[in-house]
């Protein structure tokens, strides 16, 4: 055999070996592609199952949104009514403030009247005591006519009136000056607002 034949035999053997290797590579590639195809099919199947499970939940969410639409539409009128109620409460508070200012002025007037009555009662008691003293001998008490504050009518009246007058003066002086706390404000009402 000649060298050329030997080279040819080696080339033929090498070609057969290359074809066998190529067939093995194709076989492995085909099995790998088959495995990948199966995995992709499983992933697609799982995705389809997930989408099918999500569909009822999405339908429920759509139904909930449809149910909430009337409630959302009612919020605006409710807010408007709340604003009107707050305005009415503000007006009522202003009226209460005006009433308190008027009560304060009445209390001041009552305090002044109480003070005047107290002064008048004191002067009347003093006058009566002076008159009684003149009738009994100018301040020299006799055994028959002992005058003390406890036994005299004027003294008893003075003792009854004075604590009441003092308590009225104290309550009048402890009352806060409402004009200093809040200035007078006046509100007017529209006739149209009352009709509504």
Show me where the domains of the chain are located.
3-190
CB 179 within 8 A of CB 104: yes
CB 149 within 8 A of CB 159: yes
pLDDT at 186: 55
pLDDT at 148: 46
- Closest-CA residue to 176 (of 128, 123, 108, 121): 108
pLDDT at 81: 86
Q: Cα dihedral sign for 191, 192, 194, 195?
A: positive
**Which range is least confidently modeled, 31-40, 131-140, 142-151?**
142-151
Q: Which long-range contacts (CB under 8 A, 24 or more apart) does 121-124 make?
A: 121/157, 121/158, 121/161, 121/162, 121/165, 122/158, 124/154
pLDDT at 88: 87
Spatial separation of the C-alpha atoms in residues 25 and 117, rounded to whole Å: 127
pLDDT in tens, 95-129: 888 888 888 888 888 888 888 888 887 787 777 77
Residue 196: pLDDT over 60: no
Q: How confident is the model at residue 44 (pLDDT cuts 50, 70, 90)?
A: very high
pLDDT in tens, 147-194: 444 445 556 666 666 666 666 556 555 655 555 545 555 556 666 554
Flag whether the pTM goes above 0.85. no
């Amino acid at each position: 055999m000649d060298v050329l034949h030997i080279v040819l035999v080696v080339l033929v053997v090498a070609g057969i070996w290359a074809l066998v290797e190529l067939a093995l590579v194709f076989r492995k590639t085909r099995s790998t592609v088959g495995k990948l195809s199966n995995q992709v099919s499983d992933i697609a199947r799982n995705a389809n199952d997930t989408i099918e499970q999500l569909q009822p939940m999405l339908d429920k969410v759509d139904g909930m949104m449809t149910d909430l639409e009337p409630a959302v539409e009612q919020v605006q009128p409710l807010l408007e009514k709340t604003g009107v109620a707050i305005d009415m409460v503000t007006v009522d508070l202003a009226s209460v403030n005006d009433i308190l200012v008027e009560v304060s002025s009445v209390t001041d007037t009552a305090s002044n009247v109480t003070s005047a009555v107290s002064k008048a009662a004191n002067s009347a008691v003093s006058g009566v005591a002076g008159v009684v003293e003149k009738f009994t001998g100018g301040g020299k008490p006799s055994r028959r006519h002992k005058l003390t504050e406890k036994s005299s009518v004027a003294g008893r009246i003075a003792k009854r009136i004075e604590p009441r007058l003092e308590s009225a003066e104290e309550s009048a002086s402890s009352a806060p000056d409402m004009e200093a706390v809040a200035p007078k404000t006046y509100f007017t009402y529209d006739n149209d607002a009352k009709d509504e």
